[in-house]
Amino acid sequence: MSFFKNCYLQNYKLYDSLITHHDYQNKILSTIKQIISINDKIIADVGCGTGRLTSLLINEARKVYLCDASEKMLEGARERLKNIPSSKYEINVSNTFNLPYLNNSFDILIEGWSLSFCIREISLWDKLIDELLRVLRKNGTIILIETLGYGVESPNCTNSYLNSFYSYLINDRGFNFEWIRTDYQYTDENQAILYTNAFFDYDVTERLLINPQKTIPECTGIWWLTKR
């Protein structure tokens, strides 16, 4: 495992340096706003990492509650939000299966790229979704954002347990689904190789060594469900 992968959960600045290159077309926010208005909403950002999604939502939201199990990632969230009035957000260390919030607390619950750390056991899937629904108000919306493949132009997730979970969301829990392109644009071809080798599959790195490019395609899935 590379130096960067060893540091992934220990150095938020390294992770943040990667995501500055992500979704350069700004499709994530526009897609969220097509699903539901975020204006004046109370939002939970679960598995928030360094607060990347919160930073997209916080100006229009009434308040955002961020939680993550990693203290290191939350250091990054605090740094990212340091110029935002403290009344606009609250940060908690929390396990996704036991959220520190009362029932029916949020208009929107959003999660991005964190569920892959807690869905390896099929027996936990219902528990996870039920916990997210517990803190959501009636007519509130859950939005889940997860990978469908890096270095691909159309969805091609090769992770079998992720694919099974994605099917579960649609077929067993009634989630809606669409996918978007969230391409990475690096400064140059060498930087693309460096970050790809650090965080992603070596197969993509090999392709970049043969055919260098600074813009790397990525597909991202968005699943959403309104609580009735």
The DSSP bridge pattern shows strands 176-181 and 89-93 to be: unpaired
10-residue averages of pLDDT along the chain (228 residues): 49 86 97 98 96 97 96 93 97 96 98 87 95 98 97 95 96 98 98 92 93 98 98
106 burial type by CB count under 10 A (0-12 exposed, 13-18 middle, 19+ buried): buried
Taking the C-alpha atoms of residue 159 and residue 171, their distance in angstroms, rounded to an integer, is 18
User: Helix 189-199 to helix 12-19 angle, to the nearest 10 degrees?
Assistant: 130
Architecture field, domain 3-226: 3-Layer(aba) Sandwich (3.40)
Taking the C-alpha atoms of residue 55 and residue 64, their distance in angstroms, rounded to an integer, is 10
DSSP state at residue 151: S
Phi-psi sector, 66: left (phi>0), alpha (psi -120 to 50), beta: beta
Spans of all domains in the chain: 3-226
- pLDDT at position 1 is 43
DSSP state at residue 84: S
Q: Whole-model pTM?
A: 0.94
Residue 74's nearest CA partner among 18, 5, 15 is: 15
